[in-house]
Chains A and B, each alone.
Chain A
Amino acid sequence: MKPPLAYPLLIAVLALTLLLLAAFSMLVGAGGGLSELLAMIASDNADTATLIMMEVRLPRTLLALMIGASLGLAGASLQGFLRNPLADPGVVGVTSAASLGAVLALYSGLSMAFPLALPMTGIAGALLCALLLQGLAGRGGVLSLVLAGVAISSLCAALMSLALNLSPNPYAAAEIMFWLMGSVTDRSMDHVAFAAPLILIGWAVLAFSARALDALSLGEESAASLGVNILTTRNMVIGGTAISVGAATSVSGGIGFIGLIVPHILRPLVGHSPSRLLLASALGGAALLTAADILVRVLPTGAELKLGVVTALVGAPFFLWLIFRARTEIES
């Protein structure tokens, strides 16, 4: 039952895969591949090549990488903390709350007046959700936390539907719909500069909770007897998720399944250790979302597919296959 790869080797393989995908992501899309770019540089058109690389592909590559890593890391942290392999950032309501914040910016027209208003209201939604969760769950256990998260998610979904229902014109409704599908297309370095510091803070908070997740595999009482403060750990996991996934969602829209399936795939490869799963899931999530973003660019569809559509389309059947394959294991 030893994992097939030693942990450092697994991390190296994931990191290398991620690097290759990121490099590939810089060379794919409208404007041409490597040969076209080289031709531009050769024909004194280097400015155009630089523009495509630095203004179009770099921000979307960086965002796919950071958002994928946030979703993978937060998914692994939540599964570890809740001791439930079905948890993901959506379960605690953070994704819906960030989406609702962004939808309100679109609905009110605030995002037209001031482009960064959209991610700002998004992250505000996620943070409010985290505070509300703490208040609702109080000193209660894991179950009250999940129930509170489900309630917040439903409320946010209802409010988003209300915004769609009341949207002043079909264009505004369409804009909200497209945004909700999730994408990193047409994002600028401003988005990167806005999201990166928050995402990094969220990662750091989650990394600090890693050790406690291992102790929690023995249950809350054993963990507490080993010196783990359960409430502090909960605040760190919820807070770190709200900051990193909130910032991620507020620039990309809702991207599902990464936070759920990446920890699932990697868990056996890290010997089921909740703490070792965090770094592996961050790298795996980043690689998977970068790959999905390359896919939407190379698929010969008329309109470019939205990233959230692709992750769900690929993720859901894959998840079903995973459950089918592992059902005997899951039940044991």
Chain B
Amino acid sequence: MKLEARSIRVHASGKPIVNTASLSVSSGELVGLIGPNGAGKSTLLKAMLGLRPKISGDILLDGEDFLAQPAHLRARRLAYLPQDRRVEWRLPAADIVMLGRYPHRARFGAPTPEDRAAVARALDAVDGHAFLDRPINVLSGGERTRILLARALAVEAPILLADEPIAALDPYHQLHVMEVLRARAHAGAAVLAVIHDLALAARFTDRIVLMHEGAIAAEGRPGDVLTAANLARIYRIQPDAALGYARLT
């Protein structure tokens, strides 16, 4: 399966946010979408989901117009972890993860054994069984992120778009979640994740897409994209042996 965004343009208040950007993600690969704040990464993701109207461009799933498909079929094929981690009610974490089964469940039916199994697998993946019964609003930011990621994983969709899945996580769980995403991809899913940690992106992803000012600035294997020239030009940083990297003025 291949999800493809072709020449996408999205404007906000007349200003281009995504400016003729194209990218694709295929079954079996973990693609890292990187770029400085305001590069248009989240907006591109939302446009791919049909959550943001685009001025032009196409979203194609295996060559066919993805947004023309019925909403419930799209929801089964494409799971999404938004950047916004707010939950409105004091719902128990278990209920949140079960919402991932929404596209698969009947309107008035109880969860099936398959739904429960998918939820259990998703909780395994994020190491989240410990706070299953706690209301989501008493969890820490990182714990909440893991539960919401489990919610997205529980869809068990062939494609996963994750917006900053490791933001707010401690180092242990950053590594853990990156391993989970890579495992998902190598088990056959297409995974596209917005990541700010360049070292983890380089270490775990199969391919990196670098966005800058709404357009794709570079794309390819991590080593080919994360060059000193790109880091200096787009991120205004330089690799530093002692610190990892240092800020350029």
Do A and B bind?
Answer: yes
Interface on A for B, CB 8 Å cutoff?
1-2, 83, 208, 211, 214-219, 221-222, 224-229, 267, 271-274, 329, 332
The closest CB in chain B to the CB of A212 belongs to B102
A2 to B108, CA, bound (A): 23
**Of B57-65, B118-126, B130-138, the one touching chain A:** B130-138
Asked whether, in the complex, the Cβ of B89 is within 8 Å of the Cβ of A226, the reply is: no
**Of B16-24, B77-85, B167-175, the one touching chain A:** B77-85
Taking each of B74, B89, B138, which has the highest tally of chain A beta carbons within 10 Å of its own beta carbon? B89
Asked whether, in the complex, the Cβ of A1 is within 8 Å of the Cβ of B135, the reply is: yes
- Evaluate whether A217 and B91 lie within 8 angstroms (CB atoms) in the complex, with A1-B133, A1-B135, A2-B133 already known: yes
A267 to B100, CA, bound (A): 22
Interface residues on B, range: 35 or more
The closest CB in chain A to the CB of B71 belongs to A227
Closest CB in chain A relative to B98 CB, distance in Å: 9
- Evaluate whether A226 and B102 lie within 8 angstroms (CB atoms) in the complex, with A1-B92, A217-B89 already known: yes
Asked whether, in the complex, the Cβ of B75 is within 8 Å of the Cβ of A271, the reply is: no
The closest CB in chain A to the CB of B102 belongs to A226
Asked whether, in the complex, the Cβ of B51 is within 8 Å of the Cβ of A216, the reply is: no
Asked whether, in the complex, the Cβ of B75 is within 8 Å of the Cβ of A225, the reply is: yes
Across the interface, which residues of B come within 8 angstroms of A226, CB to CB?
A: 75, 99-100, 102-103, 155
Interface on B for A, CB 8 Å cutoff?
46, 49-51, 71-72, 74-76, 78-80, 82, 84, 86-92, 95-96, 99-100, 102-103, 105, 107-108, 133-135, 137-138, 148, 151, 155
**A-B CB proximity, top 3 nearest:** A227-B75, A225-B80, A83-B88
Asked whether, in the complex, the Cβ of A217 is within 8 Å of the Cβ of B51, the reply is: no
Asked whether, in the complex, the Cβ of A225 is within 8 Å of the Cβ of B92, the reply is: no
Closest CB in chain B relative to A239 CB, distance in Å: 17
Cβ-neighbour of A224 out of B51, B99, B135 (below 8 A)? B51
Across the interface, which residues of A come within 8 angstroms of B155, CB to CB?
A: 226
Cβ-neighbour of A217 out of B72, B82, B88 (below 8 A)? B88
A160 to B105, CA, bound (A): 46
